[in-house]
Amino acid sequence: MRLYQVEAKPFTFDFDLKKTALIIIDMQRDFCEAGGFGEALGNDITPTKSIIPTVRKVLDAAREKKMFIIHTREGHRPDLSDVPKAKKRRSSAIGEDGPMGKILIRGEYGHDIVDELKPLPNEVVLDKPGKGAFYQTDLHLILQNQGIESLIFCGVTTHVCVHTTIREANDRGYECLMIEDGTAAFDPRDQEAAIRMINQQGGIFGWTTTSEKLLLGLKK
Ligand code: TIU
């Protein structure tokens, strides 16, 4: 049964709330605050930080509707044994000391989710070593056990971890809705392209919409 409808591109996204999860990708201090991994890669973190209030609004609405909620974190073991050499070569800051602890390392202050979006005890926190949230994690198992068929995405960065996860989810048969203003890339050109790449060709990877339209659709 498709109970809810959200105006979206390329056409209306309809979903059964009980079969839908909100996935918030990597809203970690490492990507949203100064001195973290995002900055270490040479980026200005203003765009990722600026979506926090919008993601919070979506999170609050999902909590009110008792939607299944998952928060992901990109990160590695302190001994770096799960960092591919090829990743470390092009992201050499991983494991280095920073003002928020070792960069992109589990258990460090910078690796955790920003205070405003702190997960509640009943929400899933999923640690992942890669960009995609399905790679080397139990995400698919968790979603299957819950009977989830539709996924709503917020988080960072749109063109990297959000995109990789949506592509993985699409191939596994999930219907994905990405929130345009609930996601951010460091460069607005990447944001624009990432949105278009989801909803083009009749929704080749899924749908996109705004937080306002999602909240309107959830009001019903
Ligand atoms: N570099 C960049 O844009 N993003 C990442 O490495 N990870 C996520 O997107 N979370």
Q: What is the pLDDT of residue 2?
A: 67
Per annotation, catalytic residue among 26, 30, 112, 181: 26
For ligand 1, the distance from its centroid to the CA atom of residue 31, given in whole angstroms, is 7
- The yes-or-no answer on residue 171 being catalytic is no
Q: What is the pLDDT of residue 220?
A: 72
Ligand 1: which of 32, 76, 117, 157 to mutate, most ligand atoms within 8 Å of CB? 157
Q: Evaluate whether 149 touches 67 at the Cβ level (below 8 Å).
A: no
Q: Is the pLDDT of residue 120 over 90?
A: yes
Q: Evaluate whether 93 touches 40 at the Cβ level (below 8 Å).
A: yes
d(CA 46, CA 35): 12
d(CA 216, CA 11): 16
Average of per-residue pLDDT across 100-120: 98
Average of per-residue pLDDT across 124-143: 98
Q: Is the pLDDT of residue 1 over 70?
A: no
d(CA 88, CA 144): 32
Pairing between strand 4-6 and 13-15? antiparallel
Q: What is the pLDDT of residue 14?
A: 97
Closest C-alpha to ligand 1, atom 8: 161
Average of per-residue pLDDT across 21-31: 98
d(CA 175, CA 150): 5
Domains and their CATH numbers in the chain: 16-219 (3.40.50.850)
150 confidence band (pLDDT: 50, 70, 90): very high
What's the mean per-residue pLDDT of the chain? 97
Order of strands, sheet of 175-184, starting from the edge strand that comes earlier in the sequence: 124-128, 68-74, 20-25, 150-156, 175-184, 207-209
Which class for 35: exposed (0-12), middle (13-18), buried (19 or more C-beta within 10 A)? middle
Average of per-residue pLDDT across 39-60: 97
Residue pLDDT, tens place only, 159-217: 999 999 999 999 999 999 999 999 999 999 999 999 999 999 999 999 999 999 999 99
What pTM did the predictor assign?
A: 0.98
